[in-house]
Structure 1
């Protein structure tokens, strides 16, 4: 009888362990390999919305280059330089998107006299890379892009970094934990802490059954095991406290994917020059398209206030 109970207990423990491992693998897969949009879908969407006008884009002087990532793959980058000045903005797109999504922001800054650099994050668009790390590895890819711009234009180049969603988190992580090299940053709808963002997403996801805390712990363990980083280290709110250069924080009030209070938290953490714009209209990553005039005017005010 005792032997049989021991066998049953071992079987139950083994089954529970297998289920736990399976859930951890599933959750980490959802994060590391988040489904990205097809390039053709993004392209057709932007053309249909007239945010990408092919004739105008094709007429711009530009150069397509490949930048070596410190993680061993190539980053597809386009340098757009219609103006003779050494004023640039580097654009970081959000998760599931690619550099085409950055063109609408690029056009806005081209109209303000800046040149532009757009690129594909790892595992997106034409760039290499196996997983998405929501800023952990992406921040060093951004540094590689920054280094290339400075090598091309010289140490006297004036540049900002604009990021949307994951791209905004990446920009803040770069500025606050790698190097504060840009002259200004614009963080549009970033999350303030990856662990908190995961908790928010899991609570909304009906596919995940059980305790959100357990789900996050499992995801964190398997991500460290499989992708080599800790999700606790993906914390823009910790980075924001270290940024000395001016930051403009932007978020839509009714964002349903990353709540706007995360940007308000980042704004509070940032010391020194900063500005906050909470847009009345739009959902996630829609602050610009739903509030074009206010968005543009806020950027003008931010640049003027900081002598840029």
Structure 2
């Protein structure tokens, strides 16, 4: 009788463990869809496409809207997807900035940054990341697979515009993390510098932060859930989230990099920029923009933003 009770208890325990595991795996697939599958995101603020003169970047956005854009196309680095970019020439300049959009943003959302660099005398090449805008793709890679696409865009730019090009890579938010990940690759010598604005330390760090910030999720079940999500990401996208590390790539970087971050950033916590800044091996500068939330440093400080970037790049791009 006692042995039978023990067997029943063991069976009940196994069933409970299996149900918990099934629950975690189901939750992992749900959060993978929320985080990594393109589509409307309830946690993102919707930005109006209406242009108003009260917008601090009205002139930049209007310039972009009125500009003629060349459409460029390449295949992704893995050959799976057709990727699209805007190219905006600046007179006969041999200086080009590759402008990298953020999470669920498109090349059209980066118009004020195209205008910013155009005023400095740069051409701009602004790709839609895979699965965003007009670029094909199944999943959002948070910069890790996209870094190889950016390298391919750089090589394509050199083929089209010549080896005399001087190239800067600029990124915002996810695009900033992508830029930092690109910095650790073997790149053509024409890549002179990087500018990153509010990028995260790693995909895993950012996902863990969002699980806590958006869902108020305690350490348990957050830790096992993120690990399961990372395993699903490995199956679907091809990498574990901890491997998608800006810091690891920055350790390999010896090119100049300007780091920008708002002091009130809650989406990508401001403390992440200090870790990224310490990690890079090249010349560097850090600017913390006062009273600025995530990706708002340019809108809040347009003159200072341009000055910081211009002063930094002048040292490395002739």
TM over 0.5, shorter chain: yes
State the Cα deviation string for residues 227-260 of structure 1 (Å, max 9, x = none).
2211121111111121121111100011110111
Output the CA distance in 2 between the equivalents of 1:269 and 1:6.
50
Pick from 188, 198, 201: which aligns with 2:210? 201
Output the CA distance in 2 between the equivalents of 1:287 and 1:128.
30
CA shift, 1:31, in A, is 2.2
Residues 8/235 of structure 1: CA separation in 2 closer, same or farther (3 Å cut): same
Residues 289/299 of structure 1: CA separation in 2 closer, same or farther (3 Å cut): same
CA shift, 1:143, in A, is 1.4
Matched residue, 2:155: 147
CA shift, 1:219, in A, is 1.3
Structure 2 SS opposite 1:64:
strand
Work out whether 1:28 is the aligned partner of 2:32. yes
Matched residue, 2:192: 183
Quick check: 1:47–1:53 contact (8 Å CA) kept in 2?
no
Structure 1 SS opposite 2:169:
strand
Which of 109-118 and 214-223 deviates more? 214-223
Work out whether 1:167 is the aligned partner of 2:167. no
Matched residue, 2:300: 290
Q: Which runs of 5+ in 2 are unaligned?
A: none
Output the CA distance in 2 between the equivalents of 1:207 and 1:259.
15
Pick from 277, 281, 284: which aligns with 1:274? 284
Q: Which runs of 5+ in 1 are unaligned?
A: none
Matched residue, 2:234: 224
Output the CA distance in 2 between the equivalents of 1:13 and 1:47.
56
**Cα RMSD, aligned residues only:** 2.3
Residues 142/111 of structure 1: CA separation in 2 closer, same or farther (3 Å cut): same
CA shift, 1:82, in A, is 3.1
Output the CA distance in 1 between the equivalents of 2:263 and 2:39.
26
CA shift, 1:137, in A, is 1.0
